[in-house]
Amino acid sequence: MPTSDQKVSIVGVSNEIQVANVTKSVPVHIGNLQTEHAFVLSPHSPCNLLGRDLLVKMGVTIALSPEGITINIPDTVKQDATDLLFMPVVALDEEEDKGIPAEHENQIDPRVWVTGTNSAGHMQVPPIRIKRDYSLPVPRLPQYPLTPESVEGIRPVIDDLVKDGVLIPCRSEANTPIYPVPKPLKPGDTTQRWRLVHDLRAVNKVTIPSAPIVPNPSTILATIPPDATYFTVIDLASAFYSIDIHPDDQWLTAFTFEGKQYKWGRLPMGFHDSPTCFSQALKGKLDEWSPTEGSVLVQYVDDLLLASPSMGASVTDSISLMNFLAHIGQRVDKAKVQWVQPKVQYLGHCLSSGVKHLTDKRKHLIATQTFPKTLRQLRAFLGLVGYCRAWIPQYSQVIGPLQDLLKGHTEGKYTYTADELTPEAYRAFRDIKKLLTSAPALGLPNYEKPFFLFCSEIQGYAHGVLTQQFCDKHRPVGYYSYPLDSVARGLPGCLKSVAAAAILVEKNVDIVLGNSLTLMCPHDLETLLNGAYTRHFSTQRLTHYHLTLLSAPNLIIQKCDILNPSTFLPEQIAEEGEGDPHDVHDCTQVLDALVTPRVDLQDFPIEGLPLDAHLFVDGSSLRRPDGVTLAGCAVVNGNGIVLYAAVIPHTTSAQAAELFALCVALELAEGSAVNIYSDSAYAVGVIHTFAQLWKARGFLTAAGSPIQHKALILRLLDAIQLPRRVAVVKCKAHTNLTDFVSRGNACADEHAKLSISQYQPLSMQYQSDVTVDQEILSALQDASSHKQFWVNKGATCSPAGVWMLHDKRVAPPVLFPALFSLSHGPCHVSTGGMTRLVNRSWWAPGFQDYARKRVRECTVCQENNVGRPVKTPPKHVPHTDGPFHIVQIDFSDMPQCGRFKYMLVCVDQFTGWVEAYPTVRNDARTVVKCLTRELIPRFGIGSVISSDRGTHFENKLMAEVTGILGLQQQLHTPYRPEASGMVERTNQTLKRYIAKLTVNGAGTWVDALPLALATVRVTPKEKHGLSPFDILFGRSPVRAPPNPAMLTLQAGQDTLIDYVIKLATVFSDTFSRVKAAQPVGDESLIHGLNPGEWVYIKNHVPKSSLSPKWKGPFQVILVTPTAVKLRNHRHWVHGSHCKKALDPKATTLTGNVVDTGKSPVVSLPPRSPPLTRARAKKKNNVNRTVSFLLHTVIPLTPPVVCINFTRTDLPVSARTSETLVKLTV
């Protein structure tokens, strides 16, 4: 802003008189109002202030009322008054074009100035090598059409670059497109100028980038000395064009313009290594130059800043630098030089003596932004404000809602939904603009003074302000704000400040550069890191914090006893903040209250408690002799009485067992005082330290995944509140001592292991508990007609009258229905599983056959079991009489190779001749293009195109094209790849050959495809000994120079006739051999299904992984040799997709006798109710069972028979009362 010679004296709240400069009258805009006004420049003011005199001049009024502040601006469209308050009121700076004085310019080498619009310098450095990734193909992208205006505009640019040697005419196998872009018109321009833009993204993909060494802009500005008062900014013209590319690598950068190819002889714009290579080359040259007057040179790629302590030093060193640039071959645009100025613009910052601030142009650009409508616009806005984050207090917290809009979106998504646009996002957008447009000036680092870093943690964000002393006050050097990681966010408040301080100290290392740094924090960091609270940190994290905060020699930690500037919050953060950031507290007391689940929890025993108030807990995980691993726990009191001992279900973890035992002990001690002893450091650590910490963190690990045993830890946190007083004490394990604690711990350990060894699985308990009364069983066995069969097998009758074999009771066939119901169960156990289950307690000959039949009758089993579909041999392959009458086609997925991702394979069914085409897409247009441009022009129009039912084959376009050509389109049965067996097998063969060729160095699969095709075509088939080449051409592939007399028309008539006769004979013999090798046609049924039978059909598209695998049963009503038509089903179904089923009507509601050839078997009705039906249906179950006994069992057995299934632990009276049949499980 231009200043005048006028100065004024001002007095602020400090009561000190200060002298300030007054600016010249500058244009001012507020809304639609415009005027001119002079301002007072006060370098110590923290923000811009709007004076009463300007408000009066503009006619602006401010009204205060209980409803709020109202701002009235004449002739202004109504808008948010708060936004108007934060809009820049001064128009954009119009810098005075002072230029370079003539006396200075005369001392500068004129070679340094650019002589034309597109001229470039040439620096003598080693040429740049481009490292190509040879595993990727050469980029070959065509040039897309250009408008006539862009061609005319870019032609002189290319001519100038060719003249300077930047571009070189060439012929190259590589090519990438160019896209001319019009340049913005400058004042006085009469013609449109154009910029050459070369799309080198394809080149960047196939080259290996160098390590980027371009410096951070905020870091290099810290090198400006604090006593610098004058600056010179130099922008090198077309700087990249001054560095040569090695001649061997130039071909990769070629492009086409007006039918001619050009390659870059110098570094082009858009190549990913250009900034790095140029920065290194220029840095090496600039190291040879040194200022003579104490100036400092700052380089950022091609932008140079010369900072000098005085005007004389700036002039001298600026002239010297310009002459040096001319000497090394660089060029400078005179119009862009900022020559010896007290205030300059560099890298988007406005620099002056000791301070830097944002330029008015950047503020105005941000203030006029509208809310982004797309994700791309949002990313652009975040990048724009992110460059200015050093001026924005609490940047990460304010910008958070906008960054949340980008989470979960893929790269290709264009915009966000209306539901994602939260009020917080709009408020964050408005707030970030307010903070930027009112951003204060920041001081440049002065390395002769110490640094102060004020830090705080608010709502999971680390906020800091780096300051230095200036006029007895702290002047900010930069604002820093970063989110804490998920682990640090779950720490108690005081410990979160440790993580925040460590982050802020690390982020300021490149600014402080080892100078003295005093860390000001509202928490006692040294006490927290050296005290007992380090157990909340992992070893790695604690070591990191120690090295960062306690081991740095330049770092001094102090508890902040003055107003902490890092806690100056925007309004919305202050309203949502947790607690008072200025609160003075004792960190140790706060942590004691936060990290333990209850305040009175002790880690040492409570004195004076009786023996039964001392509980010993232990958990264990063991592998039993039968190979099963189980976890168990036990709770024992001081008297040695076992209060709880059991196996823990659904886990084999010893840690879970320890937590479970601790929960049980706490629940048993509800309302009383108790001492609980555990030898598990994990369980004791969880209850004393980590449980509350994990709860605050959301039970997440450092990687963000859920912690183990969350449910048990939640139960533990609830159980710890139940006792009146509680102490959880860690004791030593396996000490073999005789003291009270050691004996109690050993007792708990013994019973925990005993509970595992004595545990019986549920199935074993089930089989042992459910028994048949011996008297009833003996009566049923005596009534059986199979006793002689039992005797032949070695069974004997016990003194109690029960037949036994190998210590197992013999099950008569009349018991098979009940045994089936018990063993089949609600999970529908398989035949083998039921047989093994019954054989544990019974010897039941014939039960396996009975169970197999019942499973076939069970609809649930048939729908969900894998089963055996009907076998269908390939007897109906259509015959073909000649080459290319029937062609099978199919797509094959291939690895990405340039633009190609798929391979279309076409196979002639008669000859086996293969054609394969690399394709970009697998759609109908690609299929039609390959058929009409490749296959049909070379081999003619056949009869049938055979393919599967993919969308690229079964569509309207293919139907129209095949109809026009007179081709029959044959679509195969869905979910039957055997129908496309020839092309599927050819796909497999081609891929195998291609894989072997690429391993042997044949290049990509696209390069290897022709050789693989040639191999397939000349390889003889096993079934007739002829290769596809032999069949199609009537001869073997030519491997030596042929006899000209046999292959030319000039050989003479007799010879030619002889050749044709022999060729016809060869073709006749060849075709006969091929036809004879084709499968013999068979019009018989290949599936064996007949009308009237019942089948299940394969469920090819289940709704979920738990859906039935088969559907049905359906009745067959029509059959063909390969397929069947089903009742109540729309489509024909291939025979291989069917599974035979029993006739549902054949199953009756009464019992029936099945002759197994071994012994008669009695079966219950297939819909007999299970043993777990509701109590309301018990009466019906009993009635049906009684009916079954009267009609089925009694005619086959003595008239007085009763079956009584019950639990043996019930009294005898309970077994014989109430009903005839009692089924109780």
Q: CA-to-CA distance for 862 and 674, rounded, in angstroms?
A: 58
Q: Over 50: is that where the pLDDT of 866 sits?
A: yes
At 391 the pLDDT is 80
At 1180 the pLDDT is 44
Provide the pLDDT confidence category of residue 564 given band limits of 50, 70 and 90.
low
Q: CA-to-CA distance for 573 and 584, rounded, in angstroms?
A: 20
Let me know: does 953 contact 971? Beta carbons within 8 Å.
yes
- DSSP state, residue 993: H
> Positive or negative CA dihedral for 744, 745, 747, 752?
positive
For 373-438, give the secondary structure using H, E and C: CCHHHHHHHHHHHHCCHHHCCCHHHHHHHHHHCCCCCCCCCCCCCHHHCCHHHHHHHHHHHHHHHC
Provide the pLDDT confidence category of residue 918 given band limits of 50, 70 and 90.
very high
Read off the pLDDT of each residue in 928-945 and give the average, rounded to a whole number: 86
Cα 1018 from chain centroid?
47
pLDDT tens readout for residues 964-1022 = 888 888 777 666 666 667 888 888 888 888 888 887 777 888 888 888 888 888 888 87
Collapsed DSSP state (helix, strand, coil) of residue 474: strand
Strand stretches in 1135-1194, DSSP E: 1138-1141, 1152-1155, 1160-1163
Percent of the chain with pLDDT over 70: 78
Provide the pLDDT confidence category of residue 1207 given band limits of 50, 70 and 90.
very low
At 1175 the pLDDT is 38
Q: Which residue has the tokens 């701002």?
A: 71
Q: Over 50: is that where the pLDDT of 1225 sits?
A: no
pLDDT tens readout for residues 1089-1098 = 888 888 888 8
Provide the pLDDT confidence category of residue 1053 given band limits of 50, 70 and 90.
low
- Residue of higher predicted confidence among 294 and 255: 255
At 735 the pLDDT is 85
Provide the pLDDT confidence category of residue 554 given band limits of 50, 70 and 90.
confident
Structural domains of the chain, ranges and CATH numbers in brackets: 3-85 (2.40.70.10), 102-353 (3.30.70.270), 360-594 (no CATH), 598-759 (3.30.420.10), 772-871+1156-1216 (1.10.340.70), 886-1026 (3.30.420.10), 1094-1145 (2.30.30.850)
Read off the pLDDT of each residue in 925-953 and give the average, rounded to a whole number: 86
pLDDT tens readout for residues 631-647 = 999 999 988 889 999 88
Backbone angles phi, psi at 647, to 5 degrees: -85, 140
Collapsed DSSP state (helix, strand, coil) of residue 38: coil
At 229 the pLDDT is 86
At 834 the pLDDT is 85
pLDDT tens readout for residues 519-530 = 888 777 777 777
Closest to 594 (Cα-Cα) out of 484, 522, 697, 723: 697
One-letter amino acid of 438: S
Maximum average pLDDT range among 219-223, 235-239, 698-702, 759-763: 235-239
Which strands, in side-by-side order, build the sheet including 451-458?
A: 473-483, 461-470, 451-458, 517-521, 555-559
pLDDT mean across residues, the chain: 77
At 1186 the pLDDT is 42
- Residue of higher predicted confidence among 744 and 542: 744
- What per-residue string of b and e applies to 1129-1150 under the rule 16 or more CB within 10 Å gives b? eeeebbbbbbbbbbeeeeeeee
At 675 the pLDDT is 94
- Residue of higher predicted confidence among 99 and 913: 913
Q: Over 80: is that where the pLDDT of 1056 sits?
A: no
At 261 the pLDDT is 92
At 535 the pLDDT is 63
Provide the pLDDT confidence category of residue 415 given band limits of 50, 70 and 90.
low
- Residue of higher predicted confidence among 1148 and 643: 643
Pairing of strands 355-358, 349-352: antiparallel
Read off the pLDDT of each residue in 1031-1041 and give the average, rounded to a whole number: 66
At 262 the pLDDT is 93
Q: Over 80: is that where the pLDDT of 562 sits?
A: no
Report residue 57 as tokens: 């001049």
At 763 the pLDDT is 45
At 563 the pLDDT is 58
Closest to 430 (Cα-Cα) out of 570, 600, 586: 570
pLDDT tens readout for residues 1063-1096 = 777 777 777 777 666 665 555 666 678 888 888 8
At 516 the pLDDT is 87
At 513 the pLDDT is 82
Cα–Cα distance list, 867 to 856, 952, 1104 (Å): 10, 33, 19
Provide the pLDDT confidence category of residue 746 given band limits of 50, 70 and 90.
very high
At 63 the pLDDT is 78
- Residue of higher predicted confidence among 56 and 452: 452
Collapsed DSSP state (helix, strand, coil) of residue 439: coil
Residue 706: count other Cβ atoms within 10 Å of its Cβ. 11
Maximum average pLDDT range among 13-22, 323-332, 1049-1058: 323-332
**Its pTM surpasses 0.85:** no
At 586 the pLDDT is 60
Read off the pLDDT of each residue in 739-761 and give the average, rounded to a whole number: 87
